[in-house]
A and B are shown apart, each in its own frame.
Chain A
Amino acid sequence: MSRTVCVRGGTVVDETGERRADVLVEDARIVEVAPAIEPPRGATVLDAGGCLVAPGLVDLHTHLREPGGEAAETVESGARAAALGGYTAVVAMPNTDPAIDNAAIVRDVLALGTGACADVALAGAITVGRAGERLAPFAEMAALGVRLFTDDGRGVQDARLMRRALEYAGSLGVVLAEHCEDEALASGGHMNEGAWSSRLGIPGQPALAEEAMLARDLGLVRLTGSPMHFLHLSTVGSVALLRAARSEGLAVTAEATPHHLSLTEESVASYDPVFKVNPPLRTAADVAAVRGALTDGVIDAIATDHAPHPVEAKEEPFESAPPGMLGLETALAVVYGALGRPGGDGGGGPRCTAIELFALMSWRPARIAALDVTGGHGGPVAPGARAHLCVFDPAARWVVDPAAGASRSRNSPYAGRELTGRVRHTLLAGEPVVLGGEAQR
């Protein structure tokens, strides 16, 4: 029996533009996009009045914690959190236990994603066990569909090893993604180094720890000709380096997180490790630079770095708690407030149109991870396309309650905050996995 869904009353937003239209979905595909569609008998009608109807969001940077960290998150719970946040695809990071560094583990984790509320793609590790010593078998993982490789959580410290990795990856058509952190410079630092770390007595890590590795890697891209993606860039200096690399024409892409464009290091004054993250929250000037780079296209995409930790892990002093924040369920509202909403919390800073906003969160990340080709993610919202849809109500106001979310963890830095804008419905290949803000399975 076929399933028909009609999304009525919204404004469709995709790469081709923005227009008032209803969307008719049959089974997994969009069959019609038109101003006023009379739903066929038996169709499920979804109210999208006042909403933006966009291609489902794609997260390049999600920690699903499985295998090994099931107390914090599972593929199932993380994918449900993703769906609630309007995501239809996520790329799970390989810093699990054991690390995702060979074909057998790739197969296991992909199997866990079957039937999840969002499509789950995997990033593989660059080095065996993410130990930074020898190359992981890229080809056997690439054969199973792995497109991105990263030791995320750590940068590859050895420049020669990184050079070899780039050279070897080049012929496989895969992309290496770097967590830029020079460990010698960052060593022992738990927050951004500067006025706040000095005052709070928390050892800091300088912005240079990120920038030094980014500068090295840009040189390696120039040397090897292999493309690279840069994870969670967060500083004025990183933006300047990337801007120069772009004008030079280097084959690089980059992402920034919702928290690095909405929170500053001042939050750490509470000593609450819910504000501990890596790279650390930076200064207001860094936040402004990251926002600017997102609005002018120097940074391609927004990625959550959704990093669940069990409650007890954060019930420790700041310096002993692990870094990481939840992000999937709040990302769109936070980004919309920072960059999209007129009069949002961006102050007088640059603002995005709806098209630019969903570019950052849907079709550009989909292309970086090749999820446009492999899963039909990123749109367009047009007949024949796979029906991955995010229906976002930009006027809805809600108070973030991590306990009410789908994640198994609670470490949201936005807990208790009121956000404007909320995902109303999410369709994964035509199936309404979120209806009226509630997960359906």
Chain B
Amino acid sequence: MTPSATTGAARGAVPVRPAPSAPPATAAPGEASPGSRPASPPRRHLLSVADLGRGGILEVLHLADSFAEVSERDIPKVPALRGRTVATLFFESSTRTRLSFEAAAKRLSADTMTFTASTSSLSKGESLRDTVETIDAMGVDAMVVRHASAGAPHRVAGWVGASVVNAGDGQHEHPTQALLDCYTIREALARRRGGDAPDDFAGLRVAIVGDVRHSRVARSNVLALSALGAEVTLVAPATLLPPSLEGWPAVVSGELDPVLAETDVVYLLRMQSERMQGSFVPSLREYAARFGLSRERAALLAEDTLVMHPGPMNRGVEIDAEVLARSGALVTRQVHNGVPVRMAVLFLLLGAAPGGDGAAEAPR
């Protein structure tokens, strides 16, 4: 495989490099061995948005732009990760996130393997370490890990040779969700303002509404949005806020209405019905009355306010179905953009040339 073959197959000038352990042109794809993995590439795992910083976030977003273009093609596929294997390890079920990662891996021509808790040996009493070391031993280049416990991907990263992508760990983080959210905001701002998508969210006011306490999406988004310069307001009753917000680059409001007219983005979090058992709120009805984006409340929004939700939605609780028809509602766009953003993440972790500078050439 050669660089020209790469771009040829991609029918255009997608500036990606050959797979790092690409065998000579005469060899069949898939001969890459784990042993040829670069010893210490600059970024081996994505565990937290904090690992990326502003520069790393922008690197992902820029690369996602070119992968978004790939996704529009008749054959939405590039051979960038041919011969590499991406395993999705979902110890907690999440069909949409798993499918999005698998689509991303397949569009990069990586082989994929799937592990879900229901089909696993966990029920046979195997420890997390044994489980992931077993999969690592099969020759996997990346593990996309979803787990119900915070920090599980951090532990996995300490045990395996593969790159680890955090696909959601307990109440801690969901970095690729925050990245696709930033990408989606950036895309919407570009469409509205015309011209290039902005790299700086300075002055952008974002309200994150709902169960921040239990939300990995909120933690990653607070880090990512603030790194790009946005002003974040968390809107929730005290029961649904983290016990301490010390060090969080965000302000807090206990009421939604005063925030609505003053915000550019309303980001609604999923409200889980099991929170009723813990007396975090008296009822879903009361929650919806105070914090749901009803039709009446949506009328308080400026016309171009963006409305987002990580899904799956409880219509009628966090958001009214009719509000989703607003021009600023980006929920479907978020899901759509998940694939190119995850392609960018996988490529940045796996697409580095051995012994090279590690980072892919930025498309522009």
Q: Which residues of A contact B (CB under 8 A)?
A: 193-195, 197-204, 206, 270-272, 312, 315-320
Contacts and interface: CB of A to CB of B under 8 A. Distances in A.
29 contacts: A194-B243, A195-B244, A197-B242, A197-B243, A199-B242, A200-B151, A200-B172, A201-B150, A202-B150, A202-B151, A202-B171, A203-B171, A204-B243, A271-B150, A271-B151, A271-B152, A271-B155, A312-B127, A312-B130, A315-B127, A315-B128, A316-B127, A316-B128, A317-B149, A318-B151, A319-B148, A319-B150, A319-B170, A320-B128
A292 to B, nearest CB: 24
A315 B115 CA distance: 19
Contacts of A199: 219, 242, 247-248
Contacts of A315: 127-130, 155
Contacts of A316: 127-129, 155
A203 B216 CA distance: 12
Given A194-B243, A271-B150, A317-B150, 11 more contacts: A198-B246, A200-B172, A202-B170, A204-B243, A271-B152, A312-B130, A315-B127, A315-B129, A315-B155, A318-B151, A319-B170
A201 B216 contact: yes
A208 to B, nearest CB: 11
Contacts of A312: 127, 129-130
Given A195-B246, A319-B149, A201 B128 contact: no
Nearest to A194: B244
| Residue among B147, B242, B245 facing the most chain A CB atoms (10 A cut-off) | B242
B154 interface: yes
| Residue among A195, A197, A200 facing the most chain B CB atoms (10 A cut-off) | A200
A351 B169 CA distance: 42
Nearest to B243: A193
A282 to B, nearest CB: 13
| Residue among A198, A206, A320 facing the most chain B CB atoms (10 A cut-off) | A198
A271 B173 CA distance: 13
B168 to A, nearest CB: 10
Interface of B: 127-130, 147-152, 154-155, 169-173, 216, 219, 242-248
Contact of A317 (B151, B244, B245): B151
Nearest to A318: B151
A204 B130 CA distance: 28
A421 B245 CA distance: 40
B132 to A, nearest CB: 10
Nearest to B133: A315
A178 B362 CA distance: 61
Contacts of A318: 149-151, 155
B128 A317 contact: yes
Contacts of A194: 243-244, 246
A198 B173 CA distance: 11
Contacts of B169: 201
Nearest to B50: A199
A364 B95 CA distance: 59
Closest 6 CB pairs of A and B: A271-B151, A201-B172, A317-B149, A198-B242, A315-B129, A195-B246
Contacts of B247: 195, 199
B151 A198 contact: no
A194 B148 CA distance: 21
Contacts of A204: 243
Contacts of A202: 150-151, 170-172
Contacts of B242: 197-199
B152 A198 contact: no
A434 to B, nearest CB: 34
B234 to A, nearest CB: 12
A214 B245 CA distance: 28
| Residue among B155, B169, B247 facing the most chain A CB atoms (10 A cut-off) | B155
Contacts of B127: 312, 315-316
A206 B246 CA distance: 16
Given A194-B243, A201-B150, A201-B219, A317 B155 contact: yes
B70 to A, nearest CB: 33
A200 B246 CA distance: 12
Contacts of B216: 201
Contacts of B148: 319
A200 B151 CA distance: 8
Given A315-B127, A316-B128, A317-B128, A198 B150 contact: no
A184 to B, nearest CB: 11
Nearest to B126: A312
A289 B345 CA distance: 46
Contact of B173 (A201, A270, A272): A201
Contacts of A195: 244, 246-247
A270 to B, nearest CB: 8
A206 B173 CA distance: 22
A436 B346 CA distance: 54
A317 B247 CA distance: 25
A203 B173 CA distance: 13
A240 B233 CA distance: 37
B159 to A, nearest CB: 8
A206 B152 CA distance: 23
A316 B147 CA distance: 11
Nearest to B247: A195
A320 B149 contact: yes
A121 to B, nearest CB: 35
A198 B155 contact: no
A206 B243 CA distance: 9
A195 B245 CA distance: 6
Contacts of A317: 128, 147, 149-152, 155, 170
